[in-house]
Amino acid sequence: MTNLVSAEHYQLLGELASGGMATVFLGRRRSRRSRQELVAIKSMRQELAEDEAFATMFLDEATLTSRIKHPNVVQTLDVASEGGKLLIVMEYVEGISLSRLLELLMQARGSIPPRIVVAIVCDLLRGLHAAHELVDGSNRPLFVVHRDVSPQNVIVGTDGVARILDFGVAKASSQRHVTMRGEIKGKLAYMPPEQALGEMVDRRSDVYAAGVVLWETLVGRRLFDARSEEELVRQIFDAQIDPPSLVADEPIPSAVDRVCLRALTHAREGRWSTAEEMADALAAALSPAHREDVSAFVRRTAAADLHERARHVQDLEQNAGALDAETQTLQHILTGRAERTARGVPSAPPPPTSRRPTTAEHVRMPAATPRRESSRSTQRREARRKRRRMRLVLGFVTGILVILVLMLAALILGRHAS
């Protein structure tokens, strides 16, 4: 694990939530230099953690994006890979995802006031710009692109600040063909045309996705919504996008329409050149709400969710230490190395190698000394081989489906151009 020192490690408190790609745990960062603060510890699901290509890219990207220090980006604190587990430790943000906020308002037949929308999306854009501007030690640009900007990846805090998260996860996932059912469809709805066609992406691709988020948050419904990937691709390339002011319940200035529609231009050359440029134009078109107003709106709209989360967090803190076997394994990964280092005891010597290790290998925990295989170990190894073969077959089939979707998209684009 990177950045762990003898004076600081983490205590796992319990599970917060579980999703398609990971389980999120609540933890506490303990340091002699500062107060104990809560953290979110994301454990990627086993299938992903055992995928060597995914794990390598995940560790590389998470380590890279941990350098992004900005109030509108959820801070990555640590990453680790050990014993078939893939973990990322992030700052804990008290708040609610933008997707959940929109869902609650849809249930209540309400909407987000335009000035609050502008405040949230400007925060999102400034967080993206900070990532896009990231440079290495020699001041060379690193060309970081999120690739999965969506309401699910925006957290609106009770402090009135919106933050973007999951930079490393987004890129690693985009390189992996095997995916959860419906995951491709969900991501397609926010993909710019060049990304849907499998072309190179840049910061303007994130600007497009932010434009979709802006449109949906102003209007209160999906911009592109279809029953199949093919129909969704057709909408992305063929649909005539209405200005938000024509379909939103609340009055929206025409200047906001222009900002939004420029971000949604098919050709990236026609979009805002940077996320910061779009944020400045949006703030000039409509003054963003104050932090206090955003905070009050979030607390009022998501009161039940926030109360339930606060009660759950309190229960986890009070029952710290009552962990099941799986959670105890994660706790060992998070604290074992730091405690051994504090006592001056090395965890395990790294295996000899004649090649230069990759970035991911620098942050992985050293492997334990190999033992003679038992019959159970042989069975486990054979089971892993079968799973790998199955993943290869699924990857091949999914790859064929993706190619067919891209061919259809190219055909639609050709017809659209003619």
Q: Is 350 left (phi over 0), alpha (psi -120 to 50) or beta?
A: beta
* Catalytic hit among 51, 60, 78, 148: 148
CA gap 197, 413 in Å, rounded: 10
Q: What is the pTM of this model?
A: 0.75
CA gap 124, 206 in Å, rounded: 10
The token pair at 371 is 């033992």
CA gap 34, 22 in Å, rounded: 29
- Whether 148 is catalytic: yes
User: How many of the other CB atoms lie within 10 Å of CB of 94?
Assistant: 14
Which residues, 6+ apart, have CB-to-CB distance to 331 below 8 Å? 11, 12, 323
> What is the DSSP code string of 76-140?
EEEEEEETTEEEEEEE---EEEHHHHHHHHHHTT----HHHHHHHHHHHHHHHHHHHT-B-TTS-
Q: Convert 7-73 into a string of H (helix), E (strand) and C (coil).
A: CEEEEEEEEEEECCCEEEEEEEEEECCCCCEEEEEEEECHHHHCCHHHHHHHHHHHHHHCCCCCCCE
Q: Tell me, what's the pLDDT at 198?
A: 85
Q: Tell me, what's the pLDDT at 178?
A: 40
Q: Are 254 and 245 in contact (CB under 8 A)?
A: yes
Pairing of strands 8-18, 22-31: antiparallel
Residue whose C-alpha is closest to residue 280's, from 272, 292, 271: 272
Pairing of strands 154-157, 95-97: antiparallel
Q: Tell me, what's the pLDDT at 129?
A: 98
Q: Tell me, what's the pLDDT at 233?
A: 87
End-to-end CA distance of the chain: 54
Q: Tell me, what's the pLDDT at 418?
A: 57
The token pair at 164 is 């973007």
The token pair at 65 is 């994006």
Residue appearing with tokens 């640009």 = 141
Amino acid, res. 112: I
Residue ranges and CATH numbers for the domains of the chain are: 8-92+323-363 (3.30.200.20), 95-305 (1.10.510.10)
Q: Tell me, what's the pLDDT at 114?
A: 98
Q: Are 247 and 219 in contact (CB under 8 A)?
A: yes
The token pair at 343 is 């006592």
Mean pLDDT, all residues of the chain: 79
Q: Tell me, what's the pLDDT at 204?
A: 98
Q: What is the mean pLDDT of each run of 10 residues along the chain (418 residues)?
A: 45 83 86 74 84 80 85 91 82 96 95 98 98 91 91 97 82 48 63 90 96 98 88 88 95 98 96 98 98 98 96 85 55 51 36 34 32 44 56 62 71 67
